[in-house]
């Protein structure tokens, strides 16, 4: 079983679509528009992002986020720099020897984490 898509409520589909295409490599050529106005775009890993227009996104719990793992700490730093240069709201940033990550807000305040870590198996699991 594999997680294959995420549906996000957005206030402006075109603005959100451009954001995710620009910074997170979602391919505009894959865009499909559904009868209810939802637009689905896909990235190179085959993950679908469904953007559905709503009148108001509303307040989101502070911990709610989704993440993109990347292959190197330099990739995290590069994207972090691009988002900073474009005045995207950066919520937090970590640069440690075994973990480099940041969280940013999309145009509707959805929190997105971009991270690299050397050994996720060393994380403490609480059951």
Q: How far is 16 from 77, CA to CA, in rounded Å?
A: 22
pLDDT tens, residue by residue, 62-101:
899 999 999 999 999 999 999 999 999 999 999 998 999 9
Three-state secondary structure call for residue 67: strand
Q: How far is 48 from 42, CA to CA, in rounded Å?
A: 4
Q: What is the predicted pLDDT for the residue at 37?
A: 94
The answer to whether residues 35 and 77 belong to one domain is no
Q: What is the predicted pLDDT for the residue at 119?
A: 72
Q: What is the predicted pLDDT for the residue at 127?
A: 41
Comparing 119 with 1, the larger pLDDT belongs to 1
Domain that holds residue 107: 61-127
pTM of the model as a whole: 0.89
Write the DSSP symbol of residue 45. Answer: T
Q: Which distant-in-sequence residues (6+ apart) come within 8 Å of 56 by Cβ?
A: 11
The answer to whether residues 122 and 80 belong to one domain is yes
Q: Which distant-in-sequence residues (6+ apart) come within 8 Å of 23 by Cβ?
A: 79, 82, 83, 88
The answer to whether residues 25 and 65 belong to one domain is no
The answer to whether residues 16 and 70 belong to one domain is no
Q: What percent of the chain has pLDDT over 70?
A: 94
The answer to whether residues 76 and 102 belong to one domain is yes
- Residue found under tokens 């995420």: 6
How many CB atoms are closer than 10 A to CB 115? 17
What CATH number is given to the structural domain containing 67?
3.10.180.10
Q: What is the predicted pLDDT for the residue at 125?
A: 43
């Amino acid at each position: 079983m594999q997680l294959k898509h995420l549906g996000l409520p957005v206030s402006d589909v075109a603005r959100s679509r451009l954001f995710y295409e620009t910074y997170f490599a979602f391919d505009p050529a894959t865009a499909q528009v559904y009868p209810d106005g939802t637009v689905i775009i896909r990235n190179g890993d085959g993950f679908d992002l469904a953007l559905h227009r709503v009148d108001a996104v509303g307040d989101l719990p502070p911990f709610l986020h989704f993440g993109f793992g990347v292959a190197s700490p330099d990739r995290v730093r590069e994207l972090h720099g691009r988002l900073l240069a474009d005045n995207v709201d950066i919520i937090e940033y970590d640069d440690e020897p075994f973990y480099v990550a940041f969280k940013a807000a999309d145009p509707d305040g959805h929190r997105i984490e971009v991270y690299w870590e050397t050994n996720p198996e060393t994380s403490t699991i609480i059951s």
